[in-house]
């Protein structure tokens, strides 16, 4: 990063001066990641594509929700145009190429490929669009990495019950088969789902995301069962029919913060562990653990609370032995989305427990007021939590291959985004320590996101992009922020050293 690019209109406080100096010195000293480590950037279809009803695309649950209930989005916006990446994808690939990344992770729009949600009709314009992106990326020596599902369920599938309906697992497998047939000759890394807990707990439990169903403690658990079965079906489909021919790999992306015990009190330590098991282990344990199935902590807790609520059986639907084996081991890597850390502490169960996931968990969380905040209440700059999480994964699941599929910082859109640079540098430093000092098996890292985009129920009020997008301009002009040069230089510097040299450079 050039010194002149560090000038900033933000207030010249001691904290801001320190952030700027830290970013400059850290970037100048270089990162020293393993030679074959990969860096990339990520996006999602609904958040950037726009063209919501163009060229044969069908309606999805976010189209339906934002059109019928604009007040459910903070700024009453939608993804109808978003970044208009459907028309400007070549420009976006030029921006990605400018970063010098190894890969670009993007998602397919199920409704753009299969307008009705079902596989009896494949939209040729959708095929053309994604073929163009894949081919252009390969032309620029950028690996295309595809997320098959990033929250935008076709509305006709939702009309049949959506993810709580186990039949949706079959529809998803049909859709994935179409994707493998169309693009698997060139796409060598596939991700089935992005953030299952957001799909289920927020989509069908707490109602924070589309389709905004309020059935926490029941429908979210049904959704979770379907998603795990759907993921396993698609993994086995790829494994049996496409892996040998296409020579690719397939995994799943699961998100979590780090839960730090608020104190050394055993109850707080147990509360932090319960949080990890019920929010992260809900998805990782059935796939990555030696035993399979849901975490025992989660199963026992929900079963006991269900009995106290006079249910005849646990509200967490069980897997039989055959299903446990069917799901277990169905991932070539663990995709990890991580953004922040919270403090966890014990909270006693009330005498009367309303049915909900949050009441099943019943852990108090808060943040340290000294932590650097962001424009999102749920993200603070706490890089040491990243390293702790990676070590927990290593110990819990026998050090699986980890692909950090998302990590990023939201602000309100400033070009001199020094807070984002400080965040990224800190998290990358902790990632490096986890790899070289702790021997955590992490092989790739992706920044969220390439562009400012439609941030779901927050609309366009949060900006995660390395590139600024002017959403008042019909042409959606893209402009680089300071973090573009930071990330570009960081990637370049990581190529300078081999692993033997790096080992001596990194300490606790």
Q: At what angle do helices 168-183 and 124-139 cross, to 10 degrees?
A: 50
Distance CA 147, CA 79 (A): 18
For residues 339-351, b (16+ Cβ closer than 10 Å) or e, as one string? bbbbbbbbeeeee
Distance CA 132, CA 98 (A): 19
Distance CA 336, CA 402 (A): 7
If DSSP codes are grouped into helix, strand and coil, which group holds residue 104? Answer: strand
Residue 5 annotated as catalytic: no
Distance CA 313, CA 410 (A): 42
Farthest-apart Cα atoms in the chain, separation: 67
Query: Which ranges in 372-417 belong to alpha helices (H)?
Result: 384-396
If DSSP codes are grouped into helix, strand and coil, which group holds residue 448? Answer: strand
Residue among 49, 260, 396, 406 flagged as catalytic: 406
* Beta-ladder partners of 258: 341
Residue 406 annotated as catalytic: yes
Peptide bond into 449 cis (omega under 30): yes
Strands across the sheet with 258-261, in order? 258-261, 341-346, 363-366
CA dist list (Å): 30 to 107, 348, 383? 31, 48, 18
Distance CA 130, CA 436 (A): 37
Burial class of 324 by CB neighbour count within 10 A (0 to 12, 13 to 18, 19+): middle
Residue among 59, 195, 273, 430 flagged as catalytic: 195
* Residue among 461, 471, 483 nearest 415 (CA): 483
User: Which residues are catalytically annotated?
Assistant: 195, 406
């Amino acid at each position: 990063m050039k010194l002149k690019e560090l000038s900033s209109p933000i207030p010249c406080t001691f904290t801001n001066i320190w952030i700027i100096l830290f970013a400059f010195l850290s970037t100048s000293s270089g990162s020293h990641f393993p030679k074959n480590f990969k860096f990339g950037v990520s996006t999602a279809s609904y958040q950037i594509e726009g063209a919501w009803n163009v060229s044969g695309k069908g309606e999805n649950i976010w189209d339906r929700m934002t059109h019928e209930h604009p007040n459910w989005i903070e700024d009453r916006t939608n993804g109808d145009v978003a970044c208009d990446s459907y028309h400007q994808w070549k420009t976006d690939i030029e921006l990605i190429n400018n970063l010098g990344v190894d890969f670009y992770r993007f998602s397919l729009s199920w409704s753009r490929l299969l307008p009705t949600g079902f596989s009896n009709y494949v939209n040729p314009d959708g095929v053309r669009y994604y073929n163009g992106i894949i081919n252009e990326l390969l032309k620029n020596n950028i690996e295309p990495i595809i997320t098959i599902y990033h929250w935008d369920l076709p509305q006709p599938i939702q009309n049949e019950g959506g993810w709580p309906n186990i039949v949706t697992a079959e529809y998803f497998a049909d859709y994935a088969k179409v994707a493998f047939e169309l693009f698997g000759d060139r796409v060598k890394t596939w991700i089935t789902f992005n953030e299952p807990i957001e799909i289920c707990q927020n989509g069908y439990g707490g109602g924070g995301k589309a389709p905004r169903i309020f059935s926490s403690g029941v429908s979210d658990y049904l959704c979770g069962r379907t998603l795990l079965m759907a993921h396993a079906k698609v993994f086995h489909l790829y494994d049996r029919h496409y892996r040998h021919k296409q020579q690719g790999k397939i995994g799943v992306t699961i998100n979590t913060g780090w839960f730090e015990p608020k104190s050394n009190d055993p109850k707080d330590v147990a509360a932090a562990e319960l949080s990890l098991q019920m929010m992260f282990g809900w998805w990782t344990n059935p796939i990555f653990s030696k035993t399979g199935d849901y975490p025992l902590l989660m199963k026992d807790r929900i079963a006991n609370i269900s009995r106290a609520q006079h249910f005849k059986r646990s509200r967490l639907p069980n897997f039989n032995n055959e299903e446990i084996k069917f799901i277990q081991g169905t991932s070539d890597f663990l995709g990890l989305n991580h953004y922040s850390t919270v403090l966890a502490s014990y909270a006693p169960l009330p005498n009367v427990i309303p049915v909900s996931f949050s009441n099943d968990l019943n852990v108090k969380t808060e943040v340290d007021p000294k932590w650097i905040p962001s424009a999102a209440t749920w993200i603070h700059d706490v890089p040491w939590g990243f390293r702790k999480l990676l070590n927990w994964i290593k110990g819990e699941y026998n050090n699986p291959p980890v692909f950090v599929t998302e990590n990023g910082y939201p602000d309100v859109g400033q070009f001199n985004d020094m807070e984002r640079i400080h965040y990224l540098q800190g998290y990358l430093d902790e990632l490096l320590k986890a790899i070289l000092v702790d021997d955590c098996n992490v092989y790739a890292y992706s920044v969220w996101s390439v562009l400012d985009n439609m941030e779901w129920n927050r609309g366009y009020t949060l900006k995660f992009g390395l590139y600024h997008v002017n959403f008042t301009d019909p042409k959606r002009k893209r402009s680089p922020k300071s973090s573009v040069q930071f990330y570009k230089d960081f990637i370049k510097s990581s190529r300078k050293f081999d692993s033997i040299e790096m080992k001596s450079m990194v300490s606790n």
